Amino acid sequence: MQVSLVQALLIALLAYLGISTWILGVGYFTTYRPLIGGTLVGWVLGDVTAGMQIGAAINAMYLGFISTGGSLPSDLIFAGYIGTALALSAGLDAQTAVSLVVPLGLLGSALWFARMTICSFFAHWADRFAEKGDLRGVALTNIWTGQIVLFVLYAVPTFAAVYYGADAVQALIAKIPANWVTGLATVGGMLPAVGIGMLLNYMGRRPLIPFFLIGYLLATYLDLPILVVALLGAAAAYLHLQYKGGPSHEPAA
């Protein structure tokens, strides 16, 4: 699949919006995730189903993803947007694509730390503007300068990788022996288990184990759809918080 100039520009713009806070601050919980990113990339490239499948496979690997304390173990924008675009352009299946995105995520993580370092200088500029009572200067350094850096660090590499890297990936895949491609697909099929394992590690607290077992039994033995299990889990979590940790609404005596 040949990626056109317009398609590469659209994917680069979507990648920037996914990492940015422009969309009412909800990008981190929606367009930042590989499932949504892969679907959007598939829409741009004309194969929504394949994009969604690749995005879902990548997302499964990062189920236990968490970024705290200024750390970023892997960048989901590069993994989801660039990874899906390169996989679709090279004709890779979801399992093989997963093994491809690991180095992309690590590269994006390095750029994320570069972004934090650069933007730290703007914070000091904002302090100086605040001392002078220049609200326009504070707004400029806190909003526009950071967004410009974000655009340069994410949109530009995404465009270059998608537009110029597609042919390189196709040529590389053509030179890889068939048994190596099979090995990559096998490893890619195992990597989502890492994300599931990380998620289970967070759920390893004793009070949460019964909820996990109930969900497992509902999905496995009763063969309920995953959406139904998720809704039942949300209802159970709500009741658990209400009866255990929720505030009391009883009137005082």
pLDDT tens for 83-93 read: 899 889 888 88
* Assigned token pair, 190: 């195992």
**3-state secondary structure string across the chain:** CCCCHHHHHHHHHHHHHHHCCCCCCCHHHCCCCHHHHHHHHHHHHCCHHHHHHHHHHHHHHCCCCCCCCCCCCCCHHHHHHHHHHHHHHHCCCHHHHHHHHHHHHHHHHHHHHHHHHHHHHHHHHHHHHHHCCCHHHHHHHHHHHHHHHHHHHHHHHHHHHHHHHHHHHHHHHHHCCHHHHHHHHHHHHHHHHHHHHHHHHHCCCHHHHHHHHHHHHHHHCCCCCHHHHHHHHHHHHHHHHHHHHCCCCCCCC
pLDDT of residue 66: 64
pLDDT of residue 11: 94
The CB density around residue 132, as the number of other CB atoms within 10 Å, is 9
As a whole number, mean pLDDT of residues 209-227 equals 80
User: Which distant-in-sequence residues (6+ apart) come within 8 Å of 100 by Cβ?
Assistant: 83, 86, 87, 92, 169, 184, 188
pLDDT beyond 90 at 28: no
pLDDT of residue 176: 62
pLDDT: is 48 or 172 the higher one? 48
Rg of the chain over Cα atoms, rounded to whole angstroms, equals 22
Contact 158, 84 (CB under 8 A): no
pLDDT band with cut points at 50, 70 and 90 for residue 253: very low
pLDDT: is 165 or 46 the higher one? 46
pLDDT beyond 90 at 44: yes
pLDDT tens for 83-126 read: 899 889 888 888 777 777 777 887 787 788 888 888 888 888 88
